[in-house]
Structure 1
């Protein structure tokens, strides 16, 4: 068997100096072939070379206009659906979409705010959100109204879950609230900019009049809940922000401080009518809700409810 060099989506995005969601968009359109190894998609080096060669102009490597301009929905495009977000439930949703339609799901593990901006730019189809707004106490809708300007959209509830602080087993530093984070004896581990957990922390710091400059470890970033929980578990940090499930997986204590509304948004376009119908049916089904309930630590009492819909 011939061993062929290949790259991950992230490696290709770094090489081409574009976002990962831009690469997913190229995959969705069939412009960049991929193959799967388990859950991970990879791009063969030869296919990447061919893509670059095919898009050269005047001997300079340039990307087509579609990379830099918002994608316009076209029913003739390949039948891929890009689902952006990190929760395991999104993998379950992708499998159900494939089971109940001819769509093929592509997963992007990108934070809520960055995913929403990419949706505005036409680079993904389903975005999961848990964006807390400190001024209203609401989740998601205040951000949607500001970012998806000029777009019609529908917002579904996917589930509710507890968010709060990861602390070491037994909570030796007696951490109980957001205000404890500015203590000099506490070192935190943060999430990346654009993630829902990072926005929750920043909004709580703002509400409680705490300067990030007074938070030890504020610049230490990890890219997912499990990495944050692991940093606390191994003693790299004393506390981190995340969801309850990751704390149980890693085996540390969790201090719940807020109930997150974890939602899905889809743009309302003629090309998305079928997708919206399929997602509505899946979220409302007893089968899907039972599968989510079996994971534990999730509340599905509002799953499938339309939170907001524009005309």
Structure 2
């Protein structure tokens, strides 16, 4: 390996590990060349290579800083062929995203937010799509910390989506809340799914015991919509997207953040995913589905210990 590549590789590893943080200034070219016992031109080549990869930014040919998303770029640079393994929740817009990404992302494991987090913890997946509401009203953070805390987890924001009651056209029963679901056939997601957890939270808040609710247990939002459309269920809890084509109505209840919990080592493999999320054409296709808010799409935030 050429010397400039060795220098770049060492710096990329330090950025990925967090030793060199976002915004931190790298040593000047001449100073670093003296430290390494090499020429200034070799260090310049190393810096330019890292800048081209998005790991650092260069104000001029002699001054450089770690880029805002340098850790993601560094991880991708060090593992260019790694495929991102995605587990977790189901969502119509997620299907659009996966179609765009092709072979760069591979769905793995059973669906459901809890199952996805467990897959990441076991090393079977690089990220889990989750939408889990804590009793304090905050989504995802406590659950990702609890399961992945030792792996310095991050949350990649996909979008906010609208959840509500899926009902026949005209909402003949006049349903407006979970309090009215007693005695009805309710299409529900399977245990471990975030939407199933949300339904049970809404029922308890409205004074209805979840075990008193009966109806089919299904594995996707589209299956829930189909169950209502075919008369197998009277109502279901799910997302707004795609209901107009089935002649169904929607009773909005809340908006929720829909995010991917990432282990620290998965940042590089997630870079194609992040790039696609920022693509205006992709965002337009999601907006056309209805029931989505993409204001903070593709932002990544680290999760610190709740005790700090």
TM range (shorter): 0.5 to 0.7
1:260 to 241, 253, 256: 256
Alignment CA distance shift 1:288-1:149 (3 Å): same
Contiguous gaps of at least 5 residues in structure 1: 1-74
Contact 1:91 1:107 in 2 (8 A): no
Is there any run of 5+ residues in structure 2 with no aligned partner, and where?
1-77
Partner of 2:174: 174
Alpha-carbon separation, structure 2, partners of 1:231 and 1:95: 25
Partner of residue 296 from structure 2, selected from 302, 306, 310: 302
**C-alpha deviation, 1:197, in angstroms:** 1.0
Alignment partner, residue 210 of structure 2: 212
Q: 1:236 aligned to 2:240?
A: no
Deviation at 1:260, TM superposition (A): 1.5
Cα distance change on mapping 1:91 and 1:191 into 2, 3 Å: closer
Residue 96 of structure 1 deviates from its aligned partner by: 4.8
Compared CA separation, residues 260 and 121, structure 1 to 2 (3 A): same
Structure-2 change in CA distance of 1:150 and 1:180 (3 Å): same
Matching residue of 1:44: none
Among candidates 268, 276, 279, match of residue 273 of structure 2: 279
| C-alpha contact (below 8 Å) 2:240/2:290 kept by paired residues | no
> Counterparts in 2 of 1:150-189, with a 5 A limit?
150-182=150-182, 184=183, 186-189=184-187
CA 307–208 in structure 1, closer or farther in 2 if over 3 Å, else same? farther
Alignment correspondent of 2:35: none
TM-score (norm 2): 0.66
2:190 touches 2:196 (CA, 8 Å); kept in 1?
yes
Counterpart for residue 97 of structure 2: 93
Relative to structure 2, which stretch is displaced further, 280-289 or 257-266?
Answer: 280-289
| Whole-angstrom CA distance in 1 between matches of 2:196 and 2:160 | 18
Structure with higher Rg: it is 2
Distance 2:198 2:86 in 1: 22
Cα deviation 1:58-97 (Å, max 9, x = unaligned):
xxxxxxxxxxxxxxxxx88973322224224334434554
**Cα RMSD after superposing both structures:** 2.5
Q: CA deviation at 1:239?
A: 0.9
With over 3 angstroms needed to count, the CA separation of the structure-2 counterparts of 1:273 and 1:160, relative to structure 1, is closer
Task: Return the match for 1:198 from 175, 182, 196.
Answer: 196
Q: Deviations over 1:181-201 (max 9, x none)?
A: 12x3x2212111111110111
Say if 2:263 is the partner of 1:245.
Answer: no
Partner-residue secondary structure (3-state), 1:189: strand
**Cα gap change, 1:90/1:235 in structure 2, threshold over 3 Å: closer, same or farther?**
closer
Is 2:221 the partner of 1:225?
Answer: yes
Matched pairs, number: 226
Residues in 2 aligned to 1:247 and 1:240: alpha-carbon distance in whole angstroms = 12
2:180 is paired with a residue whose SS is helix
| Contact 1:157–1:264 under 8 Å retained in 2 | yes
Deviation at 1:310, TM superposition (A): 4.4
Is the counterpart of residue 127 in structure 1 residue 132 in structure 2?
Answer: no
For residue 131 of structure 1, give the secondary structure of its aligned residue in structure 2.
coil
2:72 matched residue in structure 1: none
Q: Is the 8 A contact 1:225 1:246 kept in 2?
A: no
Aligned equivalents of 2:96 and 2:249: distance in 1? Answer: 27
Q: 1:232: how far off? A: 1.2
Q: 1:116 to 1:209 in 2, by over 3 A?
A: same
Match of 1:290 in 2: 284
2: CA distance between counterparts of 1:257 and 1:236?
A: 22
Distance 1:174 1:303 in 2: 34
In the TM superposition, structure 1's runs of 4+ consecutive aligned residues that sit over 4 Å from their partners are 75-78, 95-98
